[in-house]
Amino acid sequence: MGKQIAIDGPAGAGKSTIAKRLSAEKGFIYVDTGAMYRAVALYFIKSGKDFHDEGVVEKSLPEIKIELKYVDGVQRVLLNGEDVSTEIRKEEVGNAASVTSVYPPVRSYLTALQKKIAEENNVVMDGRDIGTVVLPNAQAKIYLTASVETRAKRRFDELTAKGESPVLSEIEDDIRDRDYRDMHRETAPLKQADDAVLLDSSDLNIDEVVAEMKRICAEKGV
Ligand code: DC
């Protein structure tokens, strides 16, 4: 087994920013599993198929090919051969992903892909079910969280910096809805693995979170 660092937590806790930094420092591959779920959701948005219908989603899966490739160490996500790394970042896609990721056939398809990547590489992998389902034997597991208000404010600042005009209360509502769906779905819900270390980033900056992660990883020998 290669080296595995599993980071789970709710939307907007800063997982991807931290995981990118940590993977660069360790020389591991960063696997953003949320991007894979988003790419599946994007397929349904683009094709106009009803993604609220589990039967439709399951039937469509053979038409969906998700691949990860790395350009200068940066993950790119391909949907049926097309690089959709930018498009999947839209709020609409994130919200749709929270719906389609509930369906067990979607999860088993992507979980198998994620396990395979971890068999072939040393990884920092982030998501919702990495420490519990995808990499249950990871040497280091971290559950990264932050309050709803902190996460909404960070997202608000990000969107404002991009020139958008977000509404803070709407972002908070979206985050609450997404948390609820992620934590209450039947298959692989978001939860802290028994052997994961809890890290609350509400009052920490990025450097402090990375330092704390590195300390945890060192303690676990990875
Ligand atoms: O982390 P994110 O916002 O990019 O994730 C998008 C959606 O995908 C989110 O609503 C939860 C889902 N997801 C999941 O169910 N399991 C994962 N391992 C990663 C993401």
pLDDT digits (tens, 9 = 90+) for 103-128: 999 999 999 999 999 999 999 999 99
pLDDT at 182 > cutoff 90: no
> What residues flank ligand 1, with Cβ below 6 Å?
11, 33-34, 37-38, 94, 97-98, 101, 127-129, 178, 182
Percent over 90 (pLDDT), the chain = 90
| Mean pLDDT over each residue of the chain, to the nearest integer | 95
User: Residues 31-52: what's their mean pLDDT?
Assistant: 97
Q: What is the DSSP string of 76-138?
A: EEEETTEE-TTGGGSHHHHHHHHHHTTSHHHHHHHHHHHHHHHHHS-EEEEESSIIIII-TT-
pLDDT at 1 > cutoff 90: no
Label residue 73 by pLDDT band (50, 70, 90).
confident
Which pLDDT does position 5 carry in this prediction? 98
Measured by CA distance, the residue closest to atom 15 of ligand 1 is 101
C-alpha 145/C-alpha 120 separation (Å) is 29
Measured by CA distance, the residue closest to atom 3 of ligand 1 is 11
Measured by CA distance, the residue closest to atom 13 of ligand 1 is 34
Classified as helix, coil or strand, 189 is: coil
pLDDT at 181 > cutoff 90: no
Q: 146-171: per-residue pLDDT in tens?
A: 999 999 999 999 899 999 999 999 99
Which pLDDT does position 161 carry in this prediction? 95
Reading the block at residue 51, the tokens are 């993604």
Which pLDDT does position 22 carry in this prediction? 96
pLDDT at 12 > cutoff 90: no
Classified as helix, coil or strand, 184 is: helix
Q: For tokens 């990875």, what's the residue?
A: 222
Measured by CA distance, the residue closest to atom 2 of ligand 1 is 34
pLDDT at 53 > cutoff 90: yes
- For the CA of 94, the closest atom of ligand 1 is 6
Q: 82-101: per-residue pLDDT in tens?
A: 999 999 999 899 989 989 99
Tell how far the Cα of 220 is from the centroid of ligand 1, in angstroms: 26
Tell me, what DSSP letter sits at residue 27?
T
User: Residues 181-199: what's their mean pLDDT?
Assistant: 93
Tell how far the Cα of 10 is from the centroid of ligand 1, in angstroms: 8
Q: Note whether 15 and 135 are within 8 A (CB).
A: no
User: Residues 34-51: what's their mean pLDDT?
Assistant: 98
Number of continuous H segments (helices) and E segments (strands) in the chain? 8, 8
Tell me, what DSSP letter sits at residue 66?
E
Label residue 66 by pLDDT band (50, 70, 90).
very high
pLDDT at 212 > cutoff 90: yes
